[in-house]
Amino acid sequence: MKVLFRTDASVALGSGHVMRCLTLADALRKLGANCDFACRLTSGHLADVIRRQGFNILPLPDVIATEMADASATLAQLTQNYDLLIIDHYALAADYSRQLRSHFRHIMQIDDLANRSYDCDLLLDQNLVANAEQRYGKLVPVHCKVLTGPRYALLREEFYHPPEQRVSDRILIGFGGSDEQNLTSLAIDAVNKLKIPGLTADIVIGANNPWHAEIYKLTASLPNMRLHVQCNYMAKLMHQARLMLGGGGASHWERCISALPGLVVTVAENQQATTAFLDQLGACVWLGQAADMSAEFFAERLCYYLSRPALLDSMGRTAAGLIPAAAGTPLVTETIMKTLSNGHQ
């Protein structure tokens, strides 16, 4: 089985698209698939991370002006046909798929916007919104199988291992791979302002974080903080933490399966609907948008919730109830394999 992923990462785009594709690629590889990635080599790309995980890169130009130009650039790199094309990219949809269709038996789209037409056989939207079942009805072909909700969340294998022992005075800070707004530095300042005896913080940033040097300098002088760069043990940190301060996006589902209460800042418009809905359910607390944050506000919210253990326990239980233990990545790969074996479902 041959699979091609078309996805990008950059300082502006963040790393979430690439990271969830790597999760799916690793799971498919365990089932015998050979996976390649077609990616633009933009500032903040993750080509080195992809290669270190053992996957081949089909490099695309840094700047591609249109969807059709992207299709032409991808076609120029193909030296073989594939069983499956997986597209995880907000700028690509039906026009791109139609141009590549003859080189792929099946096409899968990963999305969460539901704002354009798609030409695919499978569509995955792992987010939780009030009208999830109806969002794609008129946007996909009749034969397309649509997978919606966190029961299809793409979670790395580590999140299915037995949890670590939770530590009452330990918090986790993580605002995604790039953190273009540098919320991490605000959070570090906030934790330093708290002056809570025994409180420790794990700080997680990605390899393409543009503020790496500044954050390293900040944490190096603070003995109660530990910096982790592009770590592959996020589940361990989430299982140990009492509370997480971080961004929305895919980390919602990592927190949920880890039963970890979260104070969430939305760093992109597409994160707002799901974060607001999870807040209503009691599975996290939506602090607001990135532009409105400050170290003082972070410190006040952290102090409030850390002093209310019963509230945190309730939030963690609610979050954990959103993702069945046997669902997520295994359910997605099972559906993919059935589609490849049986044709259109």
Measured CA to CA, the distance from residue 13 to residue 10 in angstroms comes to 5
Task: List the structure tokens of 288.
Answer: 């607001």
Residue matched to tokens 């500032």: 43
Task: List the structure tokens of 107.
Answer: 């096409």
Orientation angle between helical segments 309-320 and 295-306, nearest 10 degrees: 90
Q: What angle do CA 149, 174, 154 make, to 5 degrees?
A: 25
Measured CA to CA, the distance from residue 86 to residue 75 in angstroms comes to 15
Measured CA to CA, the distance from residue 57 to residue 64 in angstroms comes to 17
Question: Is 17 one of the annotated active-site residues of the chain?
Answer: yes
254 is in an annotated binding site: yes
For 149-168, the DSSP string reads SGGG----GGGGSPPPPP-T
Task: List the structure tokens of 250.
Answer: 């895919």
Measured CA to CA, the distance from residue 278 to residue 263 in angstroms comes to 11
Which own/partner pairs from 261-265 qualify as long-range (CB within 8 Å, at least 24 positions apart)? Answer: 261/285, 261/305, 261/312, 261/315, 261/316, 261/319, 262/315, 262/319, 263/287, 263/301, 263/302, 263/305, 265/175, 265/183, 265/289, 265/290, 265/293
**Cα distances (Å, whole numbers) of residue 52 to 46, 47, 49, 287, 304:** 10, 9, 5, 36, 41
Q: Which residues touch 1 (CB under 8 Å, ≥6 apart)?
A: 28, 31, 32, 33, 34, 83, 84, 340
Residue matched to tokens 């979670």: 155
Residue of 17, 45, 106, 252 marked active site = 17
Binding residues: 156, 254
Instruction: State the catalytic residues.
Output: 17
Binding-site annotation: residue ranges for substrate: 156, 254
